[in-house]
Amino acid sequence: MTIQALTVALSKGRIMDQTLALLRQAGLPVPDDLESSRKLILQSAGGEISFILAKPVDVPTYVEYGVADIGIVGKDVLAEADRDLYELLDLGIGRCKVSVAGLPEPPSSFAMPRVASKYPKIATDYFRQKGQQVEVIFLNGSVELAPLIGLAERIVDVVETGRTLQENGLVVHEDIMDVSTRLVANRMSFRLKSTAIDEFVARLRRVLAGEGVQ
Amino acid sequence: MSKPILFEKPRGVRDVLPPLAARKREVEKKIAKTFMRWGYEEIVTPTFEYAETFLNGAYRDNEDQMFKFIERSGKTVVLRPDMTAPIARVVASLLREHPVPIRLSYNTAIFRRQDTVSGREAEFTQSGVEMIGDESPDADAEVIALAVTALYEAGLEGFRLAIGQVNFLKGLFEEHVADVHVRGQLTDALAAKDFVTYERVVQSAVEEAAARDVLVQVPRLRGGIDVLETARLLTQSEQALAALDNIATIWHVLTLHNVVGEAQIDLGLMLGQHYYTGAVFEGYAPNVGFPVCSGGRYDDLLVKFGRPAPATGFMIGIERVLDVLEKSFPQDNQERYLVLYEEKDRYPVIGFTAFLRAKQFIVTSQRVDNVDVALEGQPSHVTVIAFKEGKLQTDDKLLTAMYADFGHAFRN
């Protein structure tokens, strides 16, 4: 195997199971106990790859600083983090959208329009480009709550099935971007570990093309 | 806004303490010496200049990255965000009559207003060269070979330089993509290193299937000299083929400089700055995620200052190099001595320490009230030696021998 001494940062949570399935399908050496273990760093059986299990928002940071050579993380997180990385591959999993949502009939004019979001950068950039002046309020979770309790008229958040929005009586007003899971690489690693990274990407590419993963 | 705490500093600037400051100076000296040996002469330009100088150069699109203030005349001046524009200004004015080629080098602080996360400081040090008035591939190869040599001299190992050619991409895109807007999107995606968007634009905005097949290969055109052969099959554009010939020649000259082991061709390499017009390169070293050097050809810059001339150059990020050195190669320090003495032993201690310094020792003499008391609590990174009752109190054989020599030479 031409893959040697590679450190891969994986995003814990939503996309983890699909990511691992994809890596295993590609014949990459994923430790069997990765799902069950509580360790944060795991080695593949042959020692070729170290896996770091990280919070998704930290993955771009790990990769930019080079403590991980490769990272697997959603485009929403990447766009928000705005790090200088190589974005090598769309893994086609974890598909969703970042959208603007709110009550079905929002007030027609906002005196002080407010938008709540876990993605302050994406939200700020989007409304700036539209020429709208809004105050973006950063929230860590349960963003759907904001319109219900009058903190903000609108929210910017990821929408997968729309069920959470629906259950809270909210609707999507506009879509900002399509999201899927991406493979990113550190700039130094992309050069100095080019053989290993190219092989890693090539294997995943074969799976994505052959299986037609959508 | 809260008031700064007494010892607080603005974001993005830092103090360099001992021993790092000495190591930094050492690295700068080694690099400067290498530049000098290759015939590059050092130049110093002002720390701040009119904003127009830089807007004329690479900062047309990055105006808000400059630290600006208003000079007494009411004009806007900025702390220099790079050295290329000031050198172009000097070459076009003060050195106007100086025949080309002109080889200049610098080592200086650079100031940029940028997000202070992730290795991007507001003030940092660059060492670099500009080679003006030589359009030959030999000049491109010279600066690349010089970059490799300087990095080795600085103490780095295991680094690699990626070499690209902006005209290859320009020619290839003009040949295969009709829409100027789409060409711009492809260029931007490569500059952002976003291959996913690049591929998506190719698949969705390029009509011909054959063109799509060619374009998707661009990010994978990297490796040794054989990459050029693969690339040749993808294009009939004169500009792109000329760019490949240019890289082939540069590569050949690099073999003569004996530095191809450190080089890699990457035809998808697109450095951020729009002013590059030919071969470009970027260097990476183990353990540090950011480039340690970057540079390339910029033949259209000098004309903006009124003296048309081709040019190429590069800069090394000194802090990045130091970062690699600290992580990869622990420093072994030269032994440092501290001689403690009381008033009555002033003679001969001061004379002896001067004698040691002349022999390249690092030595400090320190007067104390009581040598025995002072021996307690001295720093551990120096060898502390007491001088008491007219005697050097040490088992250090070297120092004992030096003291005997000193006695013979100066104290009959």
Residues of A in contact with B160 (CB under 8 A): 191-192
> Which are the contacts of A34, defined by CB distance < 8 A and separation ≥ 6?
A20, A42, A51, A53
Residues A10 and A88 in one domain: yes
pLDDT in tens, B297-306: 999 999 999 9
How far is the CA of A101 from the CAs of A172, B77, B328, in angstroms?
4, 45, 50
pLDDT band at B396 (very low <50, low <70, confident <90, very high): confident
Residues A10 and A90 in one domain: yes
Cβ distance of B193 and A86 shorter than 8 Å = yes
Residue type, B200: R
Q: Which SS3 state, helix, strand or coil, does residue B22 take?
A: helix
**pLDDT at residue B412 is higher than 70:** no
pLDDT in tens, B12-35: 888 998 888 988 999 999 999 999
Residues A55 and A149 in one domain: no
pLDDT at A107: 65
Calculate mean pLDDT across residues B198-217.
93
Per the prediction, chain B carries an average pLDDT of 90
How far is the CA of B111 from the CAs of B39, B47, B85, B123, in angstroms?
27, 9, 14, 5
**Cα(B129)–Cα(A1) distance, integer angstroms:** 42
ipTM: 0.81
Q: What is the CA radius of gyration of chain B?
A: 28
Strand partners, B222: B266
Q: Is residue A121 part of a domain?
A: yes
What is the rounded end-to-end Cα distance, in angstroms, of chain A? 28
pLDDT band at A212 (very low <50, low <70, confident <90, very high): very low
| Chain A CA closest to residue B190 | A86
Residues A143 and A192 in one domain: no
Residues A136 and A202 in one domain: no
The pTM of this model reads: 0.85
Q: Of the candidates A66, A194, A198, which has its C-beta nearest B288's C-beta?
A: A66
Cβ distance of B220 and A187 shorter than 8 Å = no
Q: Is residue A50 part of a domain?
A: yes
Residues of B in contact with A95 (CB under 8 A): none
Which residue from A49, A41, A92 is spatially nearest to A69, judged by alpha carbons?
A: A49
| Chain A CA closest to residue B264 | A191
Cβ distance of A194 and B222 shorter than 8 Å = yes
Q: Of the candidates B193, B197, B266, which has its C-beta nearest A85's C-beta?
A: B193
Q: Is the dihedral of CA A18, B204, A185, A54 positive or negative?
A: negative
Cβ distance of B291 and A187 shorter than 8 Å = yes
Decide if A63 contacts A71 (C-beta within 8 A). yes
Q: What are the backbone angles phi and psi of residue B233, rounded to the nearest 5°?
A: -70, -15
Q: Is residue A1 part of a domain?
A: no
Per the prediction, chain A carries an average pLDDT of 90
pLDDT in tens, A193-205: 989 999 999 999 9
pLDDT at A213: 42
Residues of B in contact with A204 (CB under 8 A): none
Tell me how many degrees the CA angle A55-B291-B42 measures, rounded to the nearest 5.
150
Cβ distance of A192 and B160 shorter than 8 Å = yes
Decide if A30 contacts A44 (C-beta within 8 A). yes
**Cα(A174)–Cα(A172) distance, integer angstroms:** 6
Residues of B in contact with A186 (CB under 8 A): 289
DSSP 8-state class, residue A47: S
Which residue from B160, B101, B161, B163 is spatially nearest to B133, judged by alpha carbons?
A: B101
Query: Between residues 272 and 291 of chain B, which touch chain A (CB distance below 8 Å)?
Result: 284-291
**Cα(B365)–Cα(B9) distance, integer angstroms:** 34
Residue percentage of chain B with pLDDT more than 90: 68
Q: Which SS3 state, helix, strand or coil, does residue A48 take?
A: coil
User: How many domains are there within chain A?
Assistant: 2
Residues A43 and A84 in one domain: yes
Cβ distance of A187 and B290 shorter than 8 Å = yes
Strand partners, A71: A9, A184
Least confident span in B54-58, B93-97, B107-111, B355-359: B54-58
Q: Is residue A214 part of a domain?
A: no
| Chain A CA closest to residue B221 | A198
**Cα(B285)–Cα(B159) distance, integer angstroms:** 4
pLDDT band at B61 (very low <50, low <70, confident <90, very high): low
Q: Is residue A128 part of a domain?
A: yes
Q: Is residue A107 part of a domain?
A: yes
pLDDT at A214: 38
Least confident span in A30-44, B97-111, B157-171, B328-342: B328-342
Residues A117 and A83 in one domain: no
Q: How far is B4 from chain A (nearest CA, A)?
A: 25
pLDDT at B58: 64
Q: Is residue A198 part of a domain?
A: yes
Q: Of the candidates A83, A182, A188, which has its C-beta nearest B284's C-beta?
A: A188
Residue percentage of chain B with pLDDT more than 70: 95
Look up the CATH number of the domain holding residue A125. 3.40.190.10
Domain extent at residue A150: 96-178
pLDDT band at A47 (very low <50, low <70, confident <90, very high): confident
Residues of B in contact with A182 (CB under 8 A): 196
Residues of B in contact with A88 (CB under 8 A): 195-196
Q: Is residue A202 part of a domain?
A: yes
